[in-house]
Amino acid sequence: MTTYLVLGASGFLGSHVHQAIKRSSDSPALVAASRRPPRIALPANSSWVPLDLNKATVEELVILIEASRPDALINCAGLTSGSAEQMWETNTTFVDKLIQALRQCGPRPLVHFGSSEEYGPQPSQVPIKETATEHPVNDYGRSKLAATRKITHATEQGDICATVLRIFNPIGSGAPPGSLAGQAVQELNQALKKKSSSITLSYLQTYRDFVAATDVARAALGATQLLGRAPVINVGLGKAMSNRSMVELIAHAAGFEGEIVEEIDDAYIEEVPWQQADISRMGHEIGWTPQTTIAQAAEELWKGDAESTSTPGGIADQLSSW
């Protein structure tokens, strides 16, 4: 029986990984480590370990890993907003502690959730390969890139066995309230309650590669078999879609037929106007391809868990790539 240790299991993507493990045909066990209890029931032979990952010491992480004896670890923990110090603590310092713990515990496959924000500006209309030179433009992207570099360096040195999944823009139930999808759900909820004829959101002309959170979770489970063969792999749909088109899909799922108003700040400059992932490496390595359309993911977000977007998660339990 396979045992997974999932860090940040109660957050957005952590919950989807949890669900994917629960649906797996080989009845795996799950050790869920997070500050808050998981949102969904654990599978049989599984357990929740209450742990604030920011405050955890290397020694505590060693104890957690040795006690759970996982066949693979999946680190879903991350912070997408907050101060630079907060994001560095969650996205980088914690990863450094995890690497130190894994050095002591011996080689165990680690799948770490990175972000497309690490890439920053890239040539427009060209799918981004993993070999692209990174130019992150914000604290989130910089903190995630620092973690990726720590992991890839430790892997190259033979200290750990890890793969970083650079996740583009996940859509699905439980989307963080600070994300565009989460904001759209909140606005739509209010508009439907008040019978408003419009909703207002910020800049919608950006193009992003949106991917279903359920597909991200499948990729994470598949990547546990890579054993460090590919240090960084993109996870996306492989298509660019405007933010407006994505919001329109959520509005359609909600049955909202009103106007979507774009609040434009004339002083605003979009530093990364277009992103699309090259996902060929993931297909080559584990045969993974996206199975869910963004329309389906938007419907799942609206119908499956719209209310969860109004409750912010804990610092160590949020992850998205916006």
Question: Which whole number is the average pLDDT over 48-54?
Answer: 94
Residue 26: burial class (beta carbons within 10 Å; 0-12, 13-18, 19+)? exposed
Predicted local distance difference test score (pLDDT) of residue 41: 84
> Per the structure block, which two tokens stand in for 22?
């629960």
Residue 315: pLDDT band (50, 70, 90) is very low
Percent of the chain's residues with pLDDT above 90? 81
* Mean pLDDT of the region 20-48: 88
Q: What percent of the chain has pLDDT over 70?
A: 94
Backbone angles phi, psi at 109, to 5 degrees: -60, 130
Residue reference for tokens 């032979």: 45
**Which domains are assigned to the chain?**
3-174+212-238+276-290+311-317 (3.40.50.720)
Q: Which residue carries 């991350």 as its tokens?
A: 78
pLDDT of 269 over the 90 cut: no
- 4: which 2 tokens? 């997974």
Please tell me the predicted confidence (pLDDT) of residue 314: 33
Mean pLDDT of 127-135: 97
User: Which H or E element spans position 95?
Assistant: helix 94-105
What does the pLDDT read at residue 305?
Answer: 52
pLDDT tens for each residue of 201-229: 998 999 999 999 999 999 999 999 887 78
Residue 181 pLDDT greater than 60, yes or no: yes
Is pLDDT above 60 for 308? no
Give 3-state DSSP helix, strand, coil % of the chain, rounded to 5.
Answer: 40, 20, 40
Mean pLDDT for the chain overall: 91
- Interhelix angle for 180-194 vs 243-254, to 10°? 40
Phi, psi of 258 (to 5 degrees): -80, -170
Mean pLDDT value across residues 279-290: 94
With a cut of 70, say whether residue 306 has pLDDT above it: no
| pLDDT of residue 321 exceeding 70 | no
pTM tops 0.85, yes or no: yes
Nearest to 305 by CA among 218, 186, 195, 150: 186
End-to-end CA distance of the chain: 35
Instruction: Give the SS3 label for residue 30.
Output: strand
The residues facing 262 across adjacent strands are 201
DSSP state of 134: P
What's the one-letter identity of residue 191?
A: A
Query: If you count them, how many residues does the chain have?
Result: 322
Would you call 173 exposed, middle or buried from its count of C-beta atoms within 10 A (0-12, 13-18, 19+)? buried
At 193, the pLDDT band (50, 70, 90 cuts) reads very high
What contacts 257, CB < 8 A, 6 or more positions away? 251
By DSSP bridging, strand 47-50 and strand 72-75 are: unpaired
Give the tens place of pLDDT for each residue, 69-91: 999 999 999 999 899 999 999 99
* 288: pLDDT strictly greater than 60: yes
